[in-house]
Chains A and B, each alone.
Chain A
Amino acid sequence: MIKIDDNLLNYLFNLARIPASRLSLVQKQKLKKDLNTILGYINKLNKLDTSSVKPFHRPYPLEDIGHDDQPDPSSQTPIKFANQKDGYLIVNRIIDKDNED
Chain B
Amino acid sequence: MDDLIKEYEGIIPGKLLEDIKRESKEQSLIKKQVKIVLDKVKEEYENAKIDPGEAIGIITAESFGEPSTQMVLRTFHFAGVAEVNVTLGLPRLIEIFDARKIPETPSMEIHLKSEYKNDPKQVRKIASLIKETKLEDISREFTVNLVKSSIEVSLDRELMRELSITPTLLVDSVQNSLKTVSVKYKDDDALVIKSKSPEGELSDIYRLKEKAKNAHVKGIKGVTQVVPVKTGNEYVIQTAGSNVREVMEIKEVDVENVLSNNIFETAEVLGIEAAKETIIREAVKVIENQGLDIDIRHIMFIADVMTATGNIKGITRAGITSEKESVLARASFETPIKHIINASIIGEVDSLNSVVENVMVNQAVPLGTGLPGLLAKMSAKLEKEDKKKK
Q: Do A and B bind each other?
A: no
